[in-house]
Amino acid sequence: MATTNDLKNGMVLNLDGQLWQVIWFQHHKPGKGGAVVRSKLKNVESGKTVDRTFNADVKVDVANVDKRTMQYLYNDGTSYVFMDTGTYDQVEISPDVVGDASNYLLENQEAIVASNDGRVLYIELPASVELEVTYTEPGLQGDRSTGGTKPATVETGATVNVPLFITTGERIKVDTRDGSYLGRVSS
């Protein structure tokens, strides 16, 4: 148990039998009345985001979330297989749980697997990954109708908007949170 004054970003709360991750919070002391804590919470299972206000010093149930660094091995067609690098135990994770992270997962890449009571909740990737461009149209100089970007397919099959000068075979850095191009990777 903790109080709303102990909230931190990334903390997972058990509210009414559902797990909610704290995305953002702010202590607020209005001119009249008691202090409150405003928060933005994301449902761990459905991904739904809600705004919720708590009175300050209210007890909240903190869920015990076990975060382990695991190595992604392969996709067997029905699930993603990860290996705990400490114990060599393998865990099969369904595509629903992996979600959009699959766009940036490469074999042998490390990711953080968060679980609660043996049930995997979500996958946390590094903030950015390096991927090879497997296909992109040649960029035409002077083509500015697209704001100077073009779609490129990377080795995971995801599509990323890249500047016109990027060519097939180059390695690029991609932000895993929103899929945006961050820059070239020098080889």
3-state SS assignment for residue 25? strand
Kindly list the structural domains of the chain, giving each domain's residue range(s) and its CATH number in brackets, ordered by start.
Answer: 2-60 (2.30.30.30), 66-124 (2.40.50.140), 128-184 (2.40.50.140)
Give the separation between CA 164 and CA 34, rounded to whole angstroms.
55
Residue 142: CB partners within 8 Å, gap ≥ 6? none
The DSSP symbol for 97 reads H
Q: Is the pLDDT of residue 146 over 60?
A: no
The whole-model pTM stands at 0.74
Give the model confidence (pLDDT) of 149-187 as tens digits. Answer: 889 999 999 999 998 888 999 999 999 888 899 999 876
Give the model confidence (pLDDT) of 69-120 as tens digits. Answer: 999 999 998 999 999 988 999 999 999 888 888 999 999 999 999 888 888 8
Q: What is the model's pLDDT at position 145?
A: 59
